[in-house]
Structure 1
Amino acid sequence: MNTMRQAPASETLSARQQAIVPIAATAAVGDMTRLSDALNRGLDAGLAVNEIKEVLVQVYAYAGFPRSLNALGELMKVLEARRGRGIDDAPGRLPSRRAPQGEALLAAGTANQTRLTGAPVKGALFDFAPAIDEYLKTHLFGDIFERDNLDWQSRELATVGMLAALPGVESQLQAHIRIGMNVGLGAGQLWQAAQVLAERVDADAGRRANEAIARHLASAAAPAR
């Protein structure tokens, strides 16, 4: 059954936002052929080089350093080829602030995580393995989300793209659909991101995103007990 939805005109992603989704997804699964096409589309849509770098660095948090490093290498090849064709892509800005260090980094990451999720994050898993809780707060929500040359909506579109492309991480995808809406993405924009995944990445990625969106909206609409 096809659950693809059409986003209303008032709630659509910009061409730049759309381009982020397949860049992140194809980088996460290591599909260099599709990544090369997605990178060219993204640059043509107006993504700055440093914005794309931010997306590809963020890949390490969800798909590992090898996929992130390979994707950054592919971006270097794409930029070199475009320069050879006389295309001078805008570098874009670098982060305007440095991430804090030590306890201040943990505090900043914890605050960012709480803002993104809407409540403090805790549970038995983090009590069982407190190191992963600290790494999430310091490395992901601290080091990465403190970098301000890519807005949080863009980072969440990238995260949804990555997680939808990776089988077996449906619970994390579900969480980031909710986080995406917490940072201001509308349901129509998320439906459109799912459509972009289906069209530019693969049908399974689009299906996983659609199912996660539908589950979230159904849960949000359910009456409180």
Structure 2
Amino acid sequence: MTYLNTKQQAMIPIAAFTANGKLDHLSLAIINGLENGLSINEIKEIQIQLYTYVGFPRAINGISTLMAVVNERKSSNIHDEVGKEATPIAENIDILAIGTEVQTQLAGKVVEGPLFDFAPTLNQFLRAHLFGDIFIRDVLNHQDREIATIAALATIQGADAQLKAHYGIALNTGLTQIQLQEITQIITSKVNEDTGNYAKRILKQ
């Protein structure tokens, strides 16, 4: 039986509190993450990715909180691991083609339908930017990105369809049903009981 590792567990409240804007709680979650093996760049990468789901204001506030925590710890002579930078993307790469391949792999099928027929630019942006520019960055793997995304979406009212879709994507990355249940349990215990119950209800569906 495989459970989430310590770093993955620590990502969940970081993503959730970045998404819901509760910065005091986020500070504590960041400290816990740093003390449980997450690097500064891994936490930063979670917050960079989440701007595509919760917007620039929440992502910027999250990174500002991370910066403040890191600087305060430095002043206390605590030096956290910076971690690796993303591998540079080759200049001649077809980012739309790569993003489409990643999206198809994660979704388990070519993503199309009436919504994207109505607004094809939306799917182009998803492919080129979210699944291209962001998901190919190797600071986090796809499983970790989906853990963060699920935790963030669980805090957003009315995101039922998106949360359900990302549970499916998470399974396609190799995460198990038990690990998804563990995510909802951590949300319940570390973030908010109502948020956790919502995440559990959508998972059951």
TM-score w.r.t. the length of structure 2 is 0.97
The counterpart of 2:109, out of the listed 119, 142, 152, is 119
Number of residue pairs the alignment of both structures matches: 205
Q: 1:99 to 1:119 in 2, by over 3 A?
A: farther
Q: 1:143 to 1:100 in 2, by over 3 A?
A: farther
Q: Which position in structure 1 is the counterpart of 2:189?
A: 199
Q: CA RMSD in A?
A: 1.2
The counterpart of 2:159, out of the listed 162, 169, 184, is 169
Q: Which position in structure 1 is the counterpart of 2:170?
A: 180
Instruction: State the identity %.
Output: 43
Shift of 1:100: 5.7
Q: Which position in structure 2 is the counterpart of 1:218?
A: none
SS at match of 1:11: coil
Q: Show structure 2 runs of 5+ residues with no match.
A: none
Q: Show structure 1 runs of 5+ residues with no match.
A: 1-9, 216-225
> Separation in 1 of the partners of 2:90 and 2:123?
18
Q: Which position in structure 2 is the counterpart of 1:71?
A: 62
The counterpart of 1:135, out of the listed 108, 112, 125, is 125
What letter matches 1:198 in structure 2? T
The counterpart of 2:96, out of the listed 100, 106, 111, is 106
The counterpart of 2:41, out of the listed 34, 50, 57, is 50
Shift of 1:99: 6.3
| Mapped contact 1:97–1:148 kept (Cα < 8 A) | no
Shift of 1:79: 0.2
Q: 1:119 to 1:99 in 2, by over 3 A?
A: farther
> Separation in 1 of the partners of 2:135 and 2:199?
23
Q: 1:98 to 1:129 in 2, by over 3 A?
A: same
SS at match of 1:165: coil
Q: Which position in structure 2 is the counterpart of 1:160?
A: 150
What letter matches 2:191 in structure 1? V
| Mapped contact 1:99–1:147 kept (Cα < 8 A) | no
| Mapped contact 1:99–1:143 kept (Cα < 8 A) | no
Q: Which position in structure 2 is the counterpart of 1:213?
A: 203
Q: Which position in structure 2 is the counterpart of 1:19?
A: 10
Q: Which position in structure 1 is the counterpart of 2:71?
A: 80
Structure 1 runs of 4+ with >3 Å offset: 99-102
What letter matches 2:112 in structure 1? K
> Separation in 2 of the partners of 1:179 and 1:190?
11
> Separation in 2 of the partners of 1:26 and 1:192?
18
Shift of 1:97: 3.3
1:178-225 CA-partner distances (Å, limit 9, x unpaired):
11011011111111111110111111221121112211xxxxxxxxxx
The counterpart of 2:86, out of the listed 87, 91, 95, is 95
The counterpart of 2:30, out of the listed 39, 47, 57, is 39
